[in-house]
Every structure is written in C-alpha cells, then in structure tokens.
Structure 1
C-alpha cells in the first residue's frame, strides 16, 4: 500500500528571529515568528508525513498551547514524527517541497537543507527535493512579511 501526504505552513517574518529551514539557519534580516523555532519547512513535512500515515497533524502532536513546545527545535519534532510514522510500518519513498519567500535566496542552501532533513529522517538526501519560489511581490509573502512551505510525501507500507 502507498499513500501521499500534503503539508503546508506559513509564518510571519519578524526582525530579531533566526530564519530556519529544515534545521538550517540561513542569514536573513528577518526570521519566522512561531511558538517553536518557526521552521515552516519542518512543520509542513511533519504534517505531510503524519497525514499520509493517518496519525493526525502537527497541532495534535505538538500543540502550540503547550509550554513544552515553546522555542522547540523543529528538526527534533520532525525526528519524533518520523519515528511515529516508522513505528506504524511506513517507509518514506520521497518528499518534495516548495518554499515561497521573497528573500533570502534559497538555492545556495538547498543541499545543506536536504542533508539536514535526510539526517533527521534517516533517508538518503536524494529522496528529498527543495524548490525555492518568490511570490512576485504579491500579498504578505511577496511583501517580505511571511514565508510559506508546502510539502508532499509518498509513503509505502512495509510491515504486514
């Protein structure tokens, strides 16, 4: 059996916070505002994985109302989520992601992000792809006020 999962996250960008994608801190004037470290990419992938495995969503596993998750390192949350997926007998076939922001440019950091995610998920980096897009200066993302991540994953059930 195979299943796909889709995840999406969006965070405001504010001064004084680090800009983190897939566990990689990228030099930028603004960073994600969030209860955790605000890593929109990890959050979108978590939702994609949990959804495909039929386990729920990020808000159920790591509620933003809980002080336990305040300033949490999202790459660690991703590791924990992947462990839940693996325990249910699922294997990650691939993950494909789109990050939309006006700046910074993501291409110079793409391989580092892929490697970081691969380490957290314990899969080869060539099973993960990251694309950076702009919003052509349209809406809050285009004005540099927000960043959005979309992730889709394909899982295969390997335990019978």
Structure 2
C-alpha cells in the first residue's frame, strides 16, 4: 500500500458584508472571509493538503481565482472536485487533520457539522476528520480579527 501525506494552508481577510463559511458550514458572525469563491479557508487548506499529497500542485492551479467559472463558487464543490482528482490518480483519502486560527467566533458548536460535511464529500467517516481551533492570543492580523487562517494535513493511500 502506498501512503502519502500533504499539508495545506490558507489565509483570508475578514470583512463586513460577507458570509463566514468554515468547513462547508455557514457560521453566524459580523464578518466573513473575502475571496474569489466563498472563501472557505478550511476547505481550501484541505484541498491543498490533498493535492499536495498526490503531487498535483495547489488549489490555484486547478481552480484559479482569475477564472469566472469559480467566482463565488461553493468551496464544497472545489473539495469534491479535488477528491475526484485524487481518485483519478488511484488514491483515496485516509484522514484529514485541520486547525483554524481565529479570535471569533467560537467554532466548537459547529465542529461536528463541519466534520460531517467534509467526511461526506471525501467519502470517509466522521472519525477520519479532525478539526481544531485556536486563537493567536490577540497577536497579529488574526488577533486583531482582520483575517482567518487554516492549516490542514491529509493522508491519502492507494485504492
């Protein structure tokens, strides 16, 4: 069995007037992430981790922010397409471990829904999706609530 790992990271500015999508779940908040798509940093980091594990480049290669096709797109679609790319290369997802960095809002009430959403898209169990969150103790752009960051690690294995 061939096992590979990949890591991904994504950053987005937080602004008023946008929805906050994290892990495919709409989170009530006064600010949302700014981006070409729905700006779901968690799903974007997971996409990059999966693509990196399969040596397929990054999210910008497959879903460029210069393309009208991806303007405002639901990042769950990007994750689904990423899973299809992984599958076409002969791999399946083993597990995903991700961390969100943001001061507010608290995401604990939404973690299980995020896990369910991601697991369903990747055709894995909820136990194969770990989502954690941390603050930066008011330090930097995350601490000032100007942005959000997500990190992800993914394991893929041959089918």
Map Cα deviations across residues 51-108 of structure 1 (whole Å, 9 max, x no partner): 1011111000000011111101001110011011011111111100000000000111
Aligned residues: 158
Deviation >4 Å, runs of 4+: none
Q: Which residue of 1 aligns with 2:35?
A: 34
- RMSD, matched Cα: 0.7
Unaligned runs of 5+ in 2: none
What does residue 68 of structure 2 align with? 67
TM-score (norm 2): 0.98
> How far apart in 1 are the matches of 2:55 and 2:36?
25
Structure 1 residue 121, shift from structure 2 partner: 1.1
**Deviation per CA, 1:125-158, whole angstroms, max 9, x where unpaired?**
1100000100100000010010000000011122
Q: What is the aligned partner in structure 2 of residue 6 from structure 1?
A: 7
Q: Matched residues in 2 for 1:84 and 1:106: separation?
A: 29
Q: Which residue of 1 aligns with 2:87?
A: 86
| Residues in 1 aligned to 2:76 and 2:157: alpha-carbon distance in whole angstroms | 22
Per the normalisation by structure 1, the TM-score is 0.97
Structure 1 residue aligned with 2:16:
15
Task: Using the TM superposition, give the Cα deviation of residue 123 of structure 1 relative to its aligned residue in structure 2, in angstroms.
Answer: 1.1
Q: Which aligned pairs between 1:3-152 and structure 2 lie closer than 5 A?
A: 3-152=4-153
Return 5+ residue gaps in structure 1 as ranges.
none
